[in-house]
Amino acid sequence: MMALMSLTFVPSYANAIPTDPVTSTTKNDEANAARAKVLLNRLDEIKAMDKSEMSRSEKKALRKEVRAIKGELAATGNGIYLSIGAIIIIILLLILLL
């Protein structure tokens, strides 16, 4: 019984796919950085546009595009976001512990 249980818990490396985790994460980081740069350039182009001669529908389309770009940039996870409650808890802990 013990031999059977020990064989079930032995990890099987035969099915594991050999990948280099350093290169795969580096490629993903480079792709994300390149995409973020393209999106930031587009935001700069939109900011530099002369919007005074645009119609309402064109301005509305630009606003939707800007929101979509900002949402995509936020989804890439290039930062740490803290809620107000978390900030208050951190401050209280710092005050109590010091």
**pLDDT per residue as tens digits for the range 22-48:** 555 566 777 888 888 999 999 999 999
Sign for the pseudo-dihedral over CA of 60, 63, 67, 73: positive
Q: What is the pLDDT of residue 44?
A: 93
- Judge whether 50 and 9 are in contact, CB under 8 Å: no
Give 84 or 21, the one with higher predicted confidence. 84
Torsion of CA 37, 41, 47, 50, to 10 degrees: -170
Q: What is the pLDDT of residue 81?
A: 67
pLDDT, one tens digit per residue, over 40-84 is: 999 999 999 998 999 999 999 999 999 999 888 887 765 666 788
Task: Place 19 in a pLDDT band, splitting at 50, 70 and 90.
Answer: low
Q: What's the whole-model pTM score?
A: 0.52
